[in-house]
Amino acid sequence: MFDAFIVNPIAGTGFALETMEKIESRMTEKGLPFRTFRTEQPLQAAEIARELSRNPEVRAVISVGGDGTASEVAIGLAGTGKPMAVIPAGTGNDFIKTIGIPKDPLAALETALNGEAKPTDMGWLNDSSFLNVCGTGFDVTVLDYAESLKKRYRGLLPYFLGLLKAIFHYKPVHLKLTVDGETEEGDYLICSIANGRFIGGGIPICPAADPQDGLLDLVLVRNVPRRKIPLYLPGLMMGKILNFKITRHRRVKEVTMEGKNLRVNTDGEIFSMSGACFAVRPGVLQLIR
């Protein structure tokens, strides 16, 4: 039996490769068998993970990178029963904050080697899956501005700077939503469908989310004048978004989102689509925690 590490070499602006070197040294010191697989293009991590899931000699498949890499590996392993672990080596590393994996990569390696695999939810988005959080609105604008800053900074800083820039350029999104059969329409500042709790390097977009409860969390923040957005930022950063009078939160099984020129944040990556259909996938992933 051996552990299979899937590393995204560009994650964290090279930090993932540095991390993988330390992991390989530690695994060699321990005398533990392992193999390393490097991705060379988007979505390849899912393909590699899917292939590894069929190998009975693989004890666990371990993601080394950011949230995007973890999401891809999870997509490849969903429904296979093969355990997955996550070692944070990207920019935001948001999903680990929800499930309690250490942010130090070598400490996370110990969790990967000695932790327990537990059934963990994922979400459907149209014809694929997501692991952490999807949404549209203000967070997409933040990610737009944070993208160029990721090359210079890791952690929360690029997202925080992107957040400040977004205040001056954000435009509300008009959405038609069908939530577990009930339809509504309006202008929104934020519309997030969450399996995890954090986005943008540690912004608690849905502090109540639990990826083991068999449900997704819908967070709707109605639109406010741009000048009022800064008034809500301290509360947002302190995890109080669900207490805002302009926020509605509910746990759901299915959400359909329709809007003009829709752009959706999917585990930190932005995609354009004509419509989005979300559904929960209860306990589909065996995640080592």
pLDDT higher than threshold 80 for residue 48: yes
> Contact, 57 vs 82, CB < 8 A?
no
Q: How far apart are CA 267 and CA 265, in angstroms?
A: 6
Longest Cα pair distance anywhere in the chain, in angstroms? 60
Q: How far apart are CA 118 and CA 26, in angstroms?
A: 25
- Given this model, what pLDDT does residue 12 score? 64
Q: How far apart are CA 101 and CA 103, in angstroms?
A: 6
User: Which residues, other chains included, contact 97 with Cβ-Cβ below 8 Å and sequence gap of 6+?
Assistant: 103, 196, 197, 198, 202
pLDDT higher than threshold 70 for residue 53: yes
Residues 280, 47, 91, 109: what is their CA dihedral angle, to the nearest 10 degrees?
90
- Given this model, what pLDDT does residue 268 score? 83
**pLDDT tens-digit map of 185-231:** 999 999 999 999 999 888 899 999 999 999 999 999 999 998 999 89
pLDDT higher than threshold 70 for residue 46: yes
- Given this model, what pLDDT does residue 178 score? 98
- Given this model, what pLDDT does residue 147 score? 76
User: Which residues, other chains included, contact 217 with Cβ-Cβ below 8 Å and sequence gap of 6+?
Assistant: 192, 193, 194, 195, 206, 208, 209, 249, 250, 251, 252
- Given this model, what pLDDT does residue 15 score? 84
Give me the CATH code for the 2-115 domain, please: 3.40.50.10330
Give me the CATH code for the 128-282 domain, please: 2.60.200.40
**pLDDT tens-digit map of 123-182:** 999 989 999 999 999 888 888 888 777 767 666 677 788 888 888 888 899 999 999 999
- Given this model, what pLDDT does residue 151 score? 67
Q: Is 269 a catalytic residue?
A: yes
Give how far Cα 10 sits from Cα of 40, 45, 101, 130, 270, Å: 9, 13, 22, 21, 18
Q: How far apart are CA 288 and CA 108, in angstroms?
A: 10
- Using DSSP, state whether 253 is helix, strand or coil: coil
Give how far Cα 116 sits from Cα of 5, 84, 172, 195, Å: 18, 10, 43, 20
Domain boundaries, the chain: 2-115, 128-282
- Given this model, what pLDDT does residue 9 score? 87
Instruction: Please pick, among 24, 254, 258, 269, the residue that the annotation labels catalytic.
Output: 269
Mean pLDDT of the chain: 93
Q: How many CB atoms lie within 10 A of CB 144?
A: 16
pLDDT higher than threshold 80 for residue 101: yes
Q: How confident is the model at residue 35 (pLDDT cuts 50, 70, 90)?
A: very high
pLDDT higher than threshold 90 for residue 30: yes
Is the pTM higher than 0.75?
A: yes
- Given this model, what pLDDT does residue 130 score? 96
Q: How many CB atoms lie within 10 A of CB 207?
A: 18
Overall size of the chain counted in residues: 289
- Given this model, what pLDDT does residue 154 score? 64
